[in-house]
Amino acid sequence: MRQCELCGDEAFNEHHLIPRHCHRKSWFKKRHSKEMMQQTIDVCAMCHRMIHNLVPDEKELGRHYNTIELLVAHPEIENYLAWKRKRVRA
């Protein structure tokens, strides 16, 4: 069983740290290797949905939240994860 790398729940999804929509953009090609752009993390469906709901702009997601550390530092995602982790442990 894969675990969500954000909340610890069971994971069935992969989240591209740099959204696939951005992979062809020259800004991303100049700054990130192909390997970095293909990097994913295992996430549950709820965390995946919340990432894209709280940061709907894929370019912003790819530019400013392209690591697990940066994602969990986002104030709204941090609040969501505190709530979600309590649910998972209960």
Q: How many angstroms separate the CA atoms of 87 and 51, rounded?
A: 18
Q: For residue 59, with 0-12 CB atoms within 10 Å meaning exposed, 13-18 middle and 19 or more buried, which class applies?
A: middle
DSSP string, 38-64: T-EEEE-HHHHHHHHHHS--HHHHHHH
> Where along the chain do its domains lie?
13-89
Q: What is the Cα Rg of the chain in Å?
A: 13
Q: What is the pLDDT of residues 20-47, one digit of tens each?
A: 999 999 999 999 999 999 999 999 999 9
Q: What is the pLDDT of residues 66-76, one digit of tens each?
A: 999 999 999 99
